[in-house]
């Protein structure tokens, strides 16, 4: 009986060993490819010693070219500044795309943008502002400029109460505010769902022409690329749902045109789209205004089939402070020989200057953030040191850089400097917007 038990135990142990060998991870480590090797040398040659954001203008130009080839008249491109939060970067994209149309999400940045670029702007808000924020915005400028400010901004309205508040503000300040109405085309993040709701708002606008001007609709389709697909093609499902979104949008446009034709006398803004969906639009749809920002730099959460022709143009670079030639995690010391044998990608330990950003490691291949020691993304907001692991094949040394792709373009906010490169060389240092909110 005892020998039978020992036989079973030995069999189980042998099976576990075989399973470990079969499941043993391959060495995923590689040195930098040519692109990141050159970038690593350039940063070191220029004495860069702090974590920084890198913007590759050659890749930005490539992405803008892709966008310009699709967004042709009567479609107009609107820059989402939240995704490109740098005055210099916004200025660069404005010039490259020949647009003065911006989408803004934050009152201090709305003021900043106008003070920087002047009043010859068409700014559509990406979310409704509390009426107190509207007051703060106007307080940032002398009263003599109020009429010029009014020409520059389309305020977003999502319900009757907000429209009433804006109307009272306009009357009290002898203003005529431009108002764009948010409609729900499937995202369900607010906005009007029915033409009955729309009728109430349009009626108020029409009766108060001295203080309110209807400028169009905003119906964001940000949910589209996240459609669940269990059977069949993701692309087919996306395109089918997109047609439903356009039908919903057209319902609001047609109702307004038929019921309040006088409101259609001026050119209107029918805004939708986003970085992940702009490629789906063409002139046969009622939408004529496409907002996008992230597709210009393509952070990692925008690896959609719609952006397969776009290139990543934004990176985080963090210098390596320490290199330890073993797997060093507290309380696992007695097992590190087994861990290193089983997974060759744990043979090296690196500590970088800073870390914990919402990102994925891009280069060198095979380097990963240690999951046992990592804080949740953005938990530690002041740069400390982050533990990563890699194989002997990565060939990294102290002073080299680990390159990440941020998940969103607004990661720019977390850094002091934006290192701008062209043809692999540093050509400028830009600054992010002054504060993060």
Among 136, 77, 143, residue whose Cα is nearest residue 112: 136
The string of pLDDT tens digits covering residues 150-164 is 999 999 999 999 999
- Do the strands 314-324 and 348-353 form a parallel or antiparallel pair, or are they unpaired? antiparallel
The structural architecture, per CATH, of the domain 85-292 is Alpha-Beta Barrel (3.20)
Q: Would you identify the CATH topology of the domain 25-52+312-430? A: Lyase, Ornithine Decarboxylase; Chain A, domain 1 (2.40.37)
Average pLDDT of the residues of the chain: 91
Please tell me the distance from the alpha carbon of residue 321 to that of residue 300, in angstroms, as a whole number. 25
- Would you say 400 and 320 are in contact if contact means Cβ atoms under 8 Å apart? yes
Query: Over 90: is that where the pLDDT of 173 sits?
Result: yes
According to CATH, where is 2.40.37 located in the chain? 25-52+312-430
The string of pLDDT tens digits covering residues 21-73 is 666 777 787 899 999 999 999 999 999 999 999 999 999 999 999 999 999 98
Query: Of the ranges 2-6, 326-330, 387-391, which is most confident?
Result: 387-391
Whole-model pTM: value is 0.90
Query: Over 60: is that where the pLDDT of 408 sits?
Result: yes
Rounded to an integer, the average pLDDT of 406-434 is 93
Q: State whether the Cα torsion 196-245-70-302 is positive or negative.
A: positive
Q: Residue 6: what pLDDT?
A: 64
Query: Over 80: is that where the pLDDT of 224 sits?
Result: yes
Tell me the residue length of the chain: 437
Query: Over 60: is that where the pLDDT of 16 sits?
Result: no
Rounded to an integer, the average pLDDT of 340-367 is 85
Band (189; pLDDT cuts 50, 70, 90):
very high
Q: Residue 357: what pLDDT?
A: 81
Structure tokens, 295: 């597709």
Rounded to an integer, the average pLDDT of 181-195 is 95
Rounded to an integer, the average pLDDT of 274-283 is 95
Query: Over 90: is that where the pLDDT of 266 sits?
Result: no
Q: Residue 340: what pLDDT?
A: 65
Q: Residue 5: what pLDDT?
A: 65
Among 355, 437, 361, residue whose Cα is nearest residue 394: 361
Rounded to an integer, the average pLDDT of 220-227 is 92
Query: Over 80: is that where the pLDDT of 425 sits?
Result: yes
Q: Residue 230: what pLDDT?
A: 85
Q: Residue 370: what pLDDT?
A: 80
The string of pLDDT tens digits covering residues 117-133 is 999 999 999 999 999 99
**DSSP string for residues in 167-221:** HHHHHHTT--EEEEEEB-SS--SSSB-SHHHHHHHHHHHHHTTTTEEEEEEE---
Q: Residue 12: what pLDDT?
A: 59
Q: Residue 337: what pLDDT?
A: 72
Q: Residue 413: what pLDDT?
A: 86
Query: Over 70: is that where the pLDDT of 13 sits?
Result: no
Q: Residue 291: what pLDDT?
A: 97
Q: Residue 18: what pLDDT?
A: 56
Among 52, 29, 47, 54, residue whose Cα is nearest residue 318: 52
According to CATH, where is 3.20.20.10 located in the chain? 85-292
Q: Residue 244: what pLDDT?
A: 96
The string of pLDDT tens digits covering residues 61-113 is 999 999 999 999 899 999 999 999 999 999 999 999 999 999 999 999 999 99
Q: Check residue 183 and give left, alpha or beta (phi > 0: left; psi -120 to 50: alpha).
A: beta
Residue with tokens 């309040």: 260
Among 169, 108, 111, residue whose Cα is nearest residue 145: 111
Band (354; pLDDT cuts 50, 70, 90):
confident
Query: Over 90: is that where the pLDDT of 300 sits?
Result: yes
């Amino acid at each position: 009986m005892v020998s039978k038990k020992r036989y079973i135990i030995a069999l189980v142990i042998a099976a576990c060993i075989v399973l470990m060998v079969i499941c043993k991870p391959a060495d995923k480590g590689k040195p930098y490819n040519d692109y990141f090797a050159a970038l690593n040398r350039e940063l070191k040659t220029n004495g860069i010693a702090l974590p920084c954001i890198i913007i590759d203008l050659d890749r930005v130009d490539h992405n803008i070219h892709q966008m310009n080839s699709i967004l042709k008249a009567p479609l107009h491109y609107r820059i989402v500044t939240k995704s490109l939060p740098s005055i210099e970067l916004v200025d660069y994209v404005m010039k490259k795309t020949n647009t003065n149309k911006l989408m803004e999400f934050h009152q201090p940045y709305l003021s900043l943008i106008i003070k920087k670029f002047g009043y010859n702007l068409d700014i559509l808000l990406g979310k409704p502002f509390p009426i107190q924020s509207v007051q703060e915005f106007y307080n940032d400028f002398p009263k003599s400029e109020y009429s010029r400010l009014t020409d520059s901004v389309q305020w977003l309205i999502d319900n009757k109460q907000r429209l009433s508040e804006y109307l009272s503000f306009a009357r009290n300040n002898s203003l005529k505010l431009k108002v764009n109405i948010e409609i729900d085309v499937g995202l369900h993040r607010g906005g009007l769902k029915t033409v009955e709701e729309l009728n109430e708002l349009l009626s108020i606008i029409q009766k108060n022409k001295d203080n309110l001007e209807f400028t169009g609709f905003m119906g964001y389709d940000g949910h589209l690329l996240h459609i669940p697909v269990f059977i069949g093609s993701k692309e087919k499902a996306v395109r089918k749902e997109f047609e439903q979104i356009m039908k919903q949008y057209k319902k609001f446009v047609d109702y307004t045109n038929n019921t309040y034709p006088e409101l259609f006398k001026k050119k209107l803004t029918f805004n939708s789209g986003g970085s992940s969906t702009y490629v789906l639009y063409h002139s046969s749809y009622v939408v004529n205004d496409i907002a996008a920002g992230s597709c210009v730099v393509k952070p990692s959460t925008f690896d959609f089939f719609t952006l397969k022709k776009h290139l990543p143009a934004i990176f985080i670079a963090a210098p390596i402070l320490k290199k330890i030639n073993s797997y060093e995690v507290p309380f696992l010391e007695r097992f590190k020989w087994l861990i290193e044998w089983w997974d060759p990608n744990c043979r090296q330990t690196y500590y970088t200057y800073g870390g914990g950003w919402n990102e994925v490691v891009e280069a060198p291949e095979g380097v990963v953030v240690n999951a046992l020691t990592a804080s949740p993304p953005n938990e530690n907001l002041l740069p400390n040191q982050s533990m990563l692991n890699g194989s002997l094949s990565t060939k990294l040394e102290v002073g080299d850089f680990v390159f990440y792709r941020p998940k969103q373009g607004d990661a720019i906010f977390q850094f002091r400097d934006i290192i701008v490169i062209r043809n692999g060389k540093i050509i400028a240092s830009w600054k992010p917007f002054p504060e993060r909110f």
